[in-house]
Amino acid sequence: MDTSRSYLEPSSFSKKMAAAIIIVYAVITLIPISWMVMTSFKNVDSAISYPPEVLFEPSLEGYVNLFTNRSRQSQEYLDSLPPPENWYEELVRSREMVITGPSKFLGRYSNSMIIGFGSTFASVFLGALAAYAFSRFRVPLKDDLLFFILSTRMFPPIAVAVPIFIMYRKLGLGDTHLGMIILYTVVNLSLAVWLLKGFMDEIPKEYEEAAMIDGYSRLQAFFKVVLPQAMTGIAATAIFCMIFSWNEYAFAVLLTQFNAQTAPPFIPTIIGEGGLDWPAIGAGTTLFLLPVMIFTIILRKHLLRGITFGAVRK
Partner 1 sequence: MSQIKIVNLQKSFGDFTAVKNSNLTINDKEFFVLLGPSGCGKTTTLRMIAGLELPTSGEIYLGDEEVGMLRASERDIAFVFQLFALYPHMNVRNNLSFPLKMQGYKKSDIKNRVEEAAKLLRIDHILNSNISSLSGGDRQRVALGRALVRRPKAFLMDEPLGTLDAEFRELMCLELKKLHLDIGATTVYVTHDQLEAMSLADRIAVMDGGEILQADEPNIIYNKPKTKFVASFIGSPGMNFFEVNEGISKDQSFINIEGAKFDIPKQLEESNGSKNFFGIRPENLTLSNNEGLKGSVFGLEYLGSRKIITVKTSLGEIKVKTDISVNVKLNENVQVKPSNNNIIIFDGETDKSLNSEFIN
* Contact residues for partner 1, defined by CB under 8 A: 204, 206-207, 209-217, 220, 224-225, 228-229, 231, 307-314
φ/ψ of 298, rounded to 5, equals: -60, -45
Q: Dihedral of CA 305/306/311/314: which sign?
A: negative
- Nearest approach, Cβ of residue 110 and partner 1 (Å): 34
Q: Which is nearer to partner 1, 92 or 221 (CB)?
A: 221
Query: Which amino acid does the sequence have at 76?
Result: E
Give 225 or 255: the residue with its C-beta nearer to partner 1.
225
Closest distance between partner 1 and the C-beta of residue 312, in Å?
5
Q: Is the Cβ of residue 68 or residue 232 nearer to partner 1 in the bound state?
A: 232
Q: How many helices (H) and strands (E) does the chain have?
A: 16, 4
Who's near 75: CB < 8 A, 6+ residues apart?
Answer: 96
| Nearest to partner 1 of 199, 244 (CB atom) | 199
Q: Which residues pair with 97 in a beta bridge?
A: 72
SS3 (DSSP) at 227: helix
Q: How far apart are CA 92 and CA 44, in angstroms?
A: 12
Q: Nearest-CA neighbor of 135 among 185, 194, 191?
A: 194
Taking the complex as a whole, the smallest distance from the CB of residue 303 to partner 1 amounts, in Å, to 16
The residue type at 292? V
Q: How far is CA 136 from CA 119, 139, 200, in A?
A: 25, 9, 9
CB of residue 205 to partner 1, shortest distance in Å = 9
What does DSSP say about strands 97-102 and 275-276: parallel, antiparallel, or unpaired? Answer: unpaired
Least CB distance to partner 1 at residue 141 (A)? 17
ω into 32 cis (within 30 of 0): no
Q: Among residues 21 and 307, whose Cβ is nearest to partner 1? A: 307
Q: Which is nearer to partner 1, 298 or 312 (CB)?
A: 312
Instruction: List Cα–Cα distances, 35 to 58, 62, 155, in angstroms.
Output: 13, 14, 34
Closer to partner 1 by CB, 153 or 224: give it. Answer: 224
- 52 vs 228, which CB is nearer to partner 1? 228
CA distance 185 to 188: 5
Burial of 177 from C-beta contacts in 10 A (0-12 / 13-18 / 19+): middle
